[in-house]
Amino acid sequence: MSFAKSKLPNVGTTIFTVMSALANEHKAINLSQGFPDFEVDAKLIDLVHQAMRQGYNQYAPMPGYMPLREMIAEKLYHTYNIEVNPDTEITITSGGTEALFDAIQAIVKPDDEVIIFDPAYDCYAPAVKLAGGKVVSIPLNPPHFSLDWNSIKASIHEKTVAILLNTPHNPTGTILKEADIQNLIEIIKNTNLYLISDEVYEHLVFDNQIHHSVLRYPQLRQRSFAIYSFGKTFHTTGWKIGYCVAPPELTQEFRKIHQFVTFASPSFVQVAYAAYLKDPEHYLTIPHFYQRKRDIFRKLLQENTQFDVLPCEGSYFQLVSYQRITDEPDTEFAIRMTKEIGVAAIPVSVFYQNQEQNRLLRFCFAKKEDTLHSAAERLSKL
């Protein structure tokens, strides 16, 4: 029976689920959905086992296990030189996805507008629509996917409630620069706009550039929900633990939603992360670790394939243009490549509100070196 009044009539199953299933079906190397194919640190696995054996198997406190929130506050002090109150400003969630949903539901009312940059990660727009809000898409300018601050300024009016930022950016691999932050500070100065800042790839910033978290800037921090994910930082995407950092009055509203979406996130994982965070090396080594993978993968693509490799300043995604290979639409090409060549990628049009065709694919390079080599060998046949 078809559902006549879908709240999300144009939404199907996410491309990540579709492409991973296709990759499995055809035994393809899966560079589509973003997740690592290497082992999690054995120390962290031991900590999880230990926490379960110690009895951390019942509900965690609704805002999160306090020692974990305290360790996050310490980490924020080390990374961004800011004081954050773990009691009133940090909430543990079931992944960055839940945190994004909660933040959007907390602030968006029917007919409110939220500015989202196009292309964007796929969970933002549906959450805005479920809250009754309207997505205002502003294109990022290729080839560098830069922000056009004049059109952003022109799009802000009394209905605009928030801007959704994402740095490092999925899918383009770009990062916000100091000049972007200054522009942002300037244009929101006399507004009541909130910022939802998706910073799940905060530690995947390359070439000695810095991550411009909204938390570093008091003018931004006071109106921001900053969102993070341990899945990305500690190669544990299946554990689904993230967190939101926001000023007390925003955190209060955020928790009103969080408590009825999941109430609390898995207890033993929170206990394990709290212990693991005591050694900052565990996150300080991440940029170097992924930069090496980025460099290997880019070189392999450049030397062995007909893809044109776009810049990648952060995240674990590499965009490529396939215009020298075919003029097929990207979804068709991605499906054919999975079936015939045995490598799965994400067609970039799915990240656009209007399915724009730029002849781009997104590869995830959070993979073992062997995997990257095998993928490049297969892709060289195109």
Give residues in contact with ligand GLN (CB under 6 A).
14, 16, 33-34, 170
Q: In angstroms, what is the minimal distance from the CB of 329 to ligand GLN?
A: 20
Kindly write down the DSSP assignment for every residue of 338-352, as one continuous string. Answer: IIIISEE-EEGGGGS
Q: In angstroms, what is the minimal distance from the CB of 138 to ligand PMP?
A: 17
Of the pair 34, 133, the CB lying nearest ligand GLN is at: 34
- Find the binder of ligand PMP among 30, 34, 68, 283 (CB under 6 A): 34
Residue 96 binds which entry of ligand PMP, ligand GLN, none, CB below 5-8 Å type-dependent: ligand PMP
Euclidean distance between CA atoms 128 and 12, whole angstroms: 16
Q: Which two tokens stand for residue 110?
A: 């029917």
Q: In angstroms, what is the minimal distance from the CB of 228 to ligand PMP?
A: 8
Of the pair 40, 341, the CB lying nearest ligand PMP is at: 40
Contacts to ligand PMP from residues 210-249, by CB under 6 A: 229, 231, 237, 240, 242
Q: In angstroms, what is the minimal distance from the CB of 359 to ligand PMP?
A: 22
Of the pair 19, 193, the CB lying nearest ligand GLN is at: 19
Q: In angstroms, what is the minimal distance from the CB of 344 to ligand GLN?
A: 11
User: Is residue 374 within the footprint of ligand PMP (CB under 6 A)?
Assistant: no
Of the pair 163, 364, the CB lying nearest ligand GLN is at: 364
Residue 16 binds which entry of ligand GLN, ligand PMP, none, CB below 5-8 Å type-dependent: ligand GLN
Q: In angstroms, what is the minimal distance from the CB of 270 to ligand PMP?
A: 14
- Find the binder of ligand PMP among 36, 64, 95, 314 (CB under 6 A): 95
Residue 33 binds which entry of ligand PMP, ligand GLN, none, CB below 5-8 Å type-dependent: ligand GLN
The answer to whether the peptide bond before residue 347 is cis (omega within 30 degrees of 0) is no
Strand partners, 362: 319, 346
Using alpha carbons, select from 192, 111, 194 the residue that is nearest to residue 159: 111
Helix (H) or strand (E) holding 321: strand 317-321
User: Is residue 174 within the footprint of ligand PMP (CB under 6 A)?
Assistant: no
- Find the binder of ligand PMP among 170, 197, 213, 318 (CB under 6 A): 170
Q: Are strands 224-229 and 194-198 parallel, antiparallel or unpaired?
A: parallel
Q: Is the dihedral of CA 91, 96, 100, 105 positive or negative?
A: negative
User: Is residue 166 within the footprint of ligand PMP (CB under 6 A)?
Assistant: yes
Euclidean distance between CA atoms 98 and 269, whole angstroms: 16
| CA terminus-to-terminus distance, the chain | 42
Compose the 316-335 pattern: x for residues touching ligand PMP by CB under 6 A, - for all others. Answer: --------------------
Cβ–Cβ < 8 Å for 29, 371 = yes
At residue 147, the 3 state secondary structure works out as coil
- Find the binder of ligand PMP among 20, 32, 97, 160 (CB under 6 A): 97
Q: Are strands 346-347 and 360-364 parallel, antiparallel or unpaired?
A: antiparallel
Cβ–Cβ < 8 Å for 86, 70 = yes
Task: Report the side by side order of strands in the sheet with 360-364.
Answer: 308-309, 317-321, 360-364, 346-347
Of the pair 16, 149, the CB lying nearest ligand GLN is at: 16
Alpha helices by DSSP H, listed for the chain, are: 15-25, 42-53, 66-80, 95-107, 124-130, 149-155, 178-188, 218-221, 230-233, 248-261, 267-276, 281-284, 286-304, 330-336, 369-379
Of the pair 63, 119, the CB lying nearest ligand GLN is at: 119
Of the pair 120, 272, the CB lying nearest ligand GLN is at: 120
Euclidean distance between CA atoms 218 and 185, whole angstroms: 10
Strand partners, 242: 93, 229
User: Is residue 313 within the footprint of ligand PMP (CB under 6 A)?
Assistant: no
Residue 265 binds which entry of ligand GLN, ligand PMP, none, CB below 5-8 Å type-dependent: none
User: Is residue 200 within the footprint of ligand PMP (CB under 6 A)?
Assistant: yes
Chain residues that interact with ligand PMP, rule: CB under 6 A: 34, 95-97, 121, 166, 170, 198, 200, 229, 231, 237, 240, 242
